[in-house]
Amino acid sequence: MSKLLLALLVAAFLAGCGGDDDEPTAPTQNDITGVSKVMVAAMREAFVASLISDTTSVPGTRGAIEIAGSNWTFAGYSPDGKLTIDGPLVVEEAKYPDIPIKGTLQLTGSQVGTLAVDMVVHVQGLDITSTGTFVLNGQTYDVAQLIAAAAASG
């Protein structure tokens, strides 16, 4: 599958999850849903950019996601001006159709804490799903459930 087609498929899958969460509180289900919406939107943009070019920078409202092959670095990146993300992710696109994404990110702004990402994006024809976990400040959340909740909340 071409990189452009994969980028379009991933973008289409992740497009249903956008938005943000305004309240800086301890993580609740609503907080992690808000964080996941912002993360999914950021990852959607970065996926498209990374699949078109191996080395690139994706600017946010502030900061950027610096992409060099499978190494993504969130450098003061804020897609919405409320949540700021710092830290590295390893996105192993070469393992298509099952693309592992792992790393630990620091969150500041509308949500404060550490977000450990351990997920896999599964591409099966035109169907794209995700499995794995987000661990926010020590609480573990199922990625598939978060994506479904983020999509349902608009």
pLDDT tens digits, residue range 27-75?
566 667 777 777 777 777 777 777 677 678 889 899 999 989 889 999 9
Give the domain range for residue 39: 3-17+24-152
- What angle, rounded to 10 degrees, do the helices at 29-52 and 143-152 form? 100
5, 54, 61, 117: CA torsion to nearest 10: 80
Beta-carbon contacts of residue 11 (< 8 Å; ≥ 6 apart): 44, 47, 48
pLDDT in tens, 82-134: 889 999 999 998 898 899 999 999 999 988 999 999 999 888 887 778 899 98
pLDDT bucket at 20, cuts 50 / 70 / 90: very low
14 pLDDT band, cuts 50/70/90, is very low
For the chain, the 3-state helix, strand and coil shares in percent, each to the nearest 5, are 30, 45, 25
Q: How many domains does the chain have?
A: 1
